[in-house]
Chain A
Amino acid sequence: MERTFIAKNPSVLWFLLGLSVFTLLVSIFSEAAGSAVISTSFLKTLGKTLCLCLVAIAMDVVWGYCGILSLGHFAFFGIGGYAIGMWLMYARTKDIVVGSLENNILPPTPDEVTTAIGSQIFGVVGSSDFPLIWAFSHSLTLQLLAVVLVPGLLALVFGWLAFRSRVTGVYLSILTQAMTLALSLYLFQNDTGLRGNNGLSGLQNIPGLEAVSQATLSLWFFWASAFALGLGYVFFAWMLAGKFGSVIRAIRDNETRVRFLGYHVETYKLFIFTTTAMIAGIAGALYYPQAGIINPAEIAPIASIYLAVWVAIGGRGRLYGAVIGAVVVSLMSSWFTGGSAPDINLGIYIVKWTDWWLVLLGLTFVAVTLFFPKGIGGLFDLISSRQEKQQ
Chain B
Amino acid sequence: MRSALFALILMVCGVPAVTAQTLQPILQTYAGEIAKPSRKSVGETIDAIAASGLPQVTVFLEQWSEKNIWQRNDGIFFVGTAAGDSLTITDVDTEAKTTAAKSDFKQLKPNGGVRRLIGTALVQFQLMDPDLSRRETAVASIARRPEAAQLAPLLASIDGEVDANLKARKTQLANFLSASFAKNTEDRIAAIDSLSTDTSVEARAVLNQILTTTTGVALAAPEGNIAATLDPMLDAEQSYTALVDANLAAPKQTGGDIKKALEANIVNGRIAGFPLGQMDDPMVRQAAYTALADAGLVPVLITQEVRDAELSKHVFYKVYDEPNVEVTIAAETARKSADNRVATAQFADLTLDALSLASIFFLAAIGLAITFGVMGVINMAHGEFIMMGAYTGYVVQLFIPNYTVSIFVALPLAFAVTFIAGVVMERLVIRRLYHRPLETLLATFGISIALQQLAKNVFGTQARPLTSPDWLAGAWVVNDIIQISYIRIAIFILALLFLGLIIYILKRTRLGLEVRAVTQNPGMASSMGINPDRINMLTFGLGSGIAGIAGVAIGLYAKVTSEMGSDYIVQSFMTVVVGGVGNVWGTLAGAAMIGFGQKGIEWLNPSNTLAAQTYMILFVILFIQFRPKGIVALKGRAAGD
Contact = CB atoms under 8 A, between A and B. Distances in A.
A13 interface: no
Interface stretch (A51-59, A198-206, A305-313, A383-391): A305-313
Given A358-B452, A362-B453, A177 B614 contact: no
A105 B620 CA distance: 57
Interface string A145-189: 000000000000010011011111111011101110110011011
B611 A105 contact: no
A262 interface: no
B443 A370 contact: yes
B446 A365 contact: yes
B450 A169 contact: no
Contact of A106 (B262, B448, B610, B625): B262
A14 B628 CA distance: 45
A107 B276 contact: yes
Interface in A83-128: 105-112
Interface residues of A, number: 54
A366 B608 CA distance: 38
B433 A358 contact: no
A112 B570 contact: no
A361 interface: yes
Contacts of B429: 366, 370
B465 interface: no
Given A105-B263, A106-B259, A178-B574, A366 B457 contact: no
B614 A182 contact: yes
Contacts of A365: 442-443, 445-446, 449
Contact of A173 (B259, B438, B453, B617): B438
A112 B574 contact: no
Contacts of A358: 449-450, 452-453
B628 A166 contact: yes
Given A178-B620, A179-B617, A358-B449, A109 B281 contact: yes
Interface in B414-449: 429, 432-433, 437-439, 441-443, 445-449
Contact of A356 (B255, B259, B453, B621): B453
Nearest to B283: A109
A111 B573 contact: no
B450 A373 contact: no
Interface in B258-287: 259, 262-263, 266, 276-277, 279-282, 285
Contacts of B437: 169-170
A22 B400 CA distance: 61
Given A107-B276, A185-B614, A189-B608, A370 B432 contact: yes
Contacts, number: 156
A362 B450 contact: yes
B456 to A, nearest CB: 7
A162 B621 CA distance: 8
Interface residues of B, number: 54
Contact of A167 (B443, B445, B457, B624): B624
A175 B441 CA distance: 13
Which of B266, B442, B577, B618 has the most CB atoms of chain A within a 10 A radius of its CB? B442
Given A109-B281, A185-B610, A175 B577 contact: yes
Contacts of A69: 438, 441-442
B614 A369 contact: no
Nearest to B563: A302
A67 B436 CA distance: 12
A191 B448 CA distance: 33
Interface string B441-484: 11101111111111011000000000000000000000000000
Contacts of B577: 171, 174-175
B621 A161 contact: yes
Contacts of A158: 621
A189 B447 contact: no
A98 B465 CA distance: 53
B629 to A, nearest CB: 9
Given A105-B263, A106-B263, A111-B282, A312 B624 contact: no
A33 interface: no
Interface of B: 255, 259, 262-263, 266, 276-277, 279-282, 285, 378, 429, 432-433, 437-439, 441-443, 445-454, 456-457, 566, 570, 573-574, 577, 608, 610-611, 613-614, 617-618, 620-622, 624-626, 628, 641
28 contacts: A69-B442, A106-B262, A108-B280, A109-B282, A161-B622, A162-B624, A165-B628, A168-B641, A169-B641, A173-B378, A174-B577, A175-B624, A177-B573, A189-B611, A189-B614, A309-B445, A309-B446, A355-B457, A356-B457, A362-B445, A362-B453, A365-B442, A365-B445, A365-B446, A365-B449, A369-B433, A369-B446, A373-B439
Given A111-B282, A179-B621, A188-B610, 4 more contacts: A67-B438, A169-B437, A362-B451, A363-B446
By Cβ-Cβ distance, the 5 closest A-B pairs, closest first, are A362-B450, A365-B446, A362-B449, A358-B453, A182-B617
